[in-house]
């Protein structure tokens, strides 16, 4: 077993490194790590906007709340839409910025031409006249996320190549100030990038009568729906916890996972603002509040069990780790107990997430429990996060049930770990 | 006084450790925790870097980024998990001696 673990460790670390340092994935990852404030703002607005149904209540506070919401629904919905609902636009800006920065390029110009490109490819204008510009912003939410990634990566890569090869550097006499040369040097790459955006826009506008984003979604809708089903959720539950068993933080995956889980969340938020049914179950808040309660490895349940352990060492870890775990930080328990590379805890550390995800997914897809439309913070305790992100009190109850279930799953394995520690101790004493 | 930087994924769990170390150190070193996205912006005056085991796969890149002169090591997982500040300080003593 130890040999196998050593072998895996030796082979997995370089792969994790590659995944974490790949330029484009890192730019996407950094974007999602830093984009949280507007998402948080949109989340708070969504929470305010989702007052519980007031027909049956006589509670004065709830009545006042729902009256406030219904008389301000346009304001609240718009505030939610421009933050959480415009996610793809911000992702486009973020990835452009971080990718350009990774090439040590100038960031301002690529960022604004990426915004222009993004608008060309996601908005199909319906009317443009004096003082009146109309077009739909539907694809600014998570639906446009693939276009956002396409535009940002295309912009930076092309700009970078053209700039490096000095395409468009017009030769000028020595008396011309060098700064002017640089401005010419960036002019031509900008024109070429915008030109490509324009050609795509024109083709879609003339032949499909719609915007590029709509065309992409029609083509890729099977692939998109493949990321929101039970099997995908289970796969995520398995993979991220499998990595964590080796002590590899789950941000390694977020270059892939971020666009998917934030995209679905943003689409849900837009649906909520529009007053229609929420289409997606698997979102970032679904994963973070329901899939991993107390951080990766579901360390809240495990921490609670540790607190009740008779083994002094395990109990100390429980005391040390329980409060961080409550806030979704599982490092102390994972590395202290440890879960990491501990064959005895391998199965439950993965199984708990798979069970949590499966139960939550089924309950949400059958609409027994509300779906998620807000993301507040990774460190928001699951029990609050689950309630606030769904507006459904039953979700908080579900969290309690899942914690209890996770404890049942962990119990025999923790006992075995306790036992192995006791044996090791007596062996040391005998020597 | 030497400046020690701790790096982890978001600067969250290393900040727990940094607090414990600063309490214990009484000013012998100054310990600060950062996330791996922005540690680069805070490198000035740093003498020694320790990274959390959950991002130990980034060690070669971080070493490359900061250059040969600043020692970079990862914290042993059990030490990290038990937030054993004293043991981490020993590690720093050893790293900065050279």
What ipTM score was computed for the predicted complex, to two decimals?
A: 0.85
User: Which residue of chain A is at minimal alpha-carbon distance from B53?
Assistant: A247
A297 in Cβ contact with A349 (< 8 Å): yes
Sheet of strand B29-35: strand arrangement: B29-35, B2-8, B48-51, B72-74
Q: What angle do CA B21, B22, B24 make, to 5 degrees?
A: 65
- The pTM score is 0.86
By CA distance, what is B11's nearest residue in A? Answer: A329
Shared domain for A240 and A335, answered yes or no, is yes
Domain termination site, one of A220, A244, A269 = A220
Give pLDDT tens digits for B23-65. Answer: 888 888 899 999 888 888 899 999 999 999 989 889 988 999 8
3 state SS of A147: helix
Nearest CA to A42 out of A5, A80, A97 is that of: A80
Which of the listed residues A189, A220, A251 is the one where a domain comes to its end? A220
Closest CA to A14 of B56, B62, B88, B74: B56
Specify the pLDDT at position A187.
Answer: 87
Residues A330 and A306 in one domain: yes
* pLDDT given for residue A108 in this prediction: 93
Measured in angstroms, the CA of B67 and the nearest CA of chain A are apart by: 17
Provide CB contacts within 8 A for B61, sequence distance 6+: A17, A21
B31 Cα to chain A: minimum distance (Å): 19
For residue A431, pLDDT over 70 is answered with no
> What residues pair up with A129 in beta bridges, in sequence order?
A132
Examine the domain organization and report whether A236 and A216 are in the same domain. no
In this predicted model, which residue has the larger pLDDT, A400 or A53?
A400
User: Considering CB atoms only, which of A13, A321, A335 is closest to B78?
Assistant: A335
Do residue A17 and residue B60 have CB atoms under 8 angstroms apart?
yes
Based on C-alpha coordinates, what's the Rg of chain A?
A: 25
| CB contacts < 8 A (A, B) | 78
pLDDT of residue A377: 86
Confidence of residue A362 (pLDDT cuts 50, 70, 90): very high
**Chain A residues touching residue B81 (CB < 8 angstroms):** 317, 321, 331-338, 340
A77: left (phi over 0), alpha (psi -120 to 50) or beta: alpha
The answer to whether residue A314 is domain-embedded is: yes
State the average pLDDT for chain A. Answer: 89
Whether residue A106 is found in the same domain as residue A254: no
Q: Which of A16, A247, A252 sits opposite B53 (nearest CB)?
A: A247
Using a CB-CB cut-off of 8 Å, the residues of chain A touching B17 are: none
Query: Within this chain, do residues A201 and A314 fall inside the same structural domain, yes or no?
Result: no
Give per-residue pLDDT as tens, A165-211: 877 776 667 777 777 766 777 888 999 999 999 999 999 999 999 99
By residue range, what is the domain housing residue A190? 35-220
How many domains does chain A divide into?
2
- How far apart CA A170 and CA A188 sit, in angstroms, is 10
Please say whether the beta carbons of A356 and A290 come within 8 A: yes
pLDDT at B63: 92
Arithmetic mean of pLDDT, A3-31: 84
pLDDT tops 70 at residue A55: no
- List phi, psi (to 5°) of A134: -120, 140
* 8 Å CB contact of A324 and B80: no
Residues A173 and A253 in one domain: no
Could you give the residue numbers annotated as active site of B?
Answer: 8
Q: Looking at the domain assignment, is residue A86 inside a domain?
A: yes
* pLDDT tens digits, one per residue of A72-104: 889 999 999 999 989 999 999 999 999 999 998
Q: Which residues of A touch B37 (CB under 8 A)?
A: 30, 33-34
Q: Domain coordinates of chain B in residue numbers?
A: 2-97
- Residues B79-93, mean pLDDT to the nearest whole number: 92
Which of the following CATH numbers is that of domain B2-97: 3.60.70.12, 3.30.300.30, 3.40.50.2300, 3.30.1490.20? 3.40.50.2300
The minimum CA-CA distance between B21 and chain A, rounded to whole Å, is 15
């Amino acid at each position: 077993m130890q040999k196998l673990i050593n072998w895996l460790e030796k082979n997995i670390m370089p792969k994790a490194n590659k995944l974490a340092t790949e330029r484009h994935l890192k730019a996407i990852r950094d974007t999602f790590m830093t984009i949280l404030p507007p998402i948080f703002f949109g989340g708070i607005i969504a929470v305010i906007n989702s007052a519980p149904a007031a027909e049956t209540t006589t509670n004065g506070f709830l009545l006042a709340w729902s009256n406030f919401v219904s008389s301000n629904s346009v304001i609240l919905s718009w505030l939610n839409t421009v933050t959480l609902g415009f996610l793809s636009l911000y992702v486009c800006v973020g990835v452009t910025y971080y990718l350009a920065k990774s090439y040590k390029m100038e960031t301002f110009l690529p960022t604004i031409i990426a915004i222009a490109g993004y608008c060309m490819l996601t908005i199909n204008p319906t009317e443009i006249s004096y003082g009146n510009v109309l077009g739909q912003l539907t694809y600014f939410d998570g639906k446009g996320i693939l276009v956002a990634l396409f535009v940002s990566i295309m912009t930076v890569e092309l700009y970078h190549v053209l700039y490096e090869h000095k395409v468009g550097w017009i030769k000028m006499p020595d008396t011309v100030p060098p700064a002017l040369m640089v401005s010419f040097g960036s002019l031509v790459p900008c024109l070429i990038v915008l030109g490509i955006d324009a050609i795509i826009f024109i083709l879609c506008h003339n032949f499909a009568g719609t915007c590029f984003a709509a065309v992409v979604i029609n083509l890729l809708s099977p692939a998109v729906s493949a990321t929101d089903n039970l099997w995908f959720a289970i796969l995520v539950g398995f993979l991220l916890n499998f990595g964590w068993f080796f002590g590899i933080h789950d941000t390694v995956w977020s270059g892939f996972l971020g666009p998917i889980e934030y995209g679905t969340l943003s689409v849900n938020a837009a649906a909520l603002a529009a007053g229609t049914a929420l289409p997606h179950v698997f979102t970032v808040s679904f994963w973070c509040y329901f899939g991993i309660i107390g951080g990766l490895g579901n360390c809240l349940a495990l921490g609670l069990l540790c607190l009740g352990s008779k083994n002094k060492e395990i109990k100390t870890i429980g005391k040390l780790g329980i409060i961080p775990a409550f806030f979704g930080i599982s490092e102390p328990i994972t590395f202290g107990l440890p879960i990491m590379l501990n064959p005895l805890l391998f199965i439950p550390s993965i199984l708990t997430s798979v069970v949590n995800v499966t139960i939550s997914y089924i309950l949400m897809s059958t609409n027994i429990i509300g779906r998620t439309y807000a993301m507040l913070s990774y460190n928001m305790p699951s029990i609050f996060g689950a309630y606030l992100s769904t507006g459904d009190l039953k979700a908080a109850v579900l969290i309690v049930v899942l914690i209890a279930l996770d404890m049942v799953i962990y119990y025999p394995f923790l006992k075995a770990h306790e036992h192995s520690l006791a044996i090791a101790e007596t062996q040391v004493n005998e020597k | 006084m030497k400046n020690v930087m701790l790096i982890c994924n978001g600067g969250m769990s290393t900040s727990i450790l940094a607090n414990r170390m600063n309490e214990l150190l009484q000013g012998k070193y100054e310990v600060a925790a950062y996330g791996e996205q922005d540690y680069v912006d805070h490198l000035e005056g740093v003498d020694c870097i320790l990274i959390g085991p959950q991002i130990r796969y980034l060690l070669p890149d971080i070493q490359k980024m900061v250059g040969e002169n600043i020692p970079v090591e990862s914290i042993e997982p059990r030490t990290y998990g038990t937030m054993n500040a004293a043991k981490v300080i020993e590690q720093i003593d050893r790293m900065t001696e050279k």
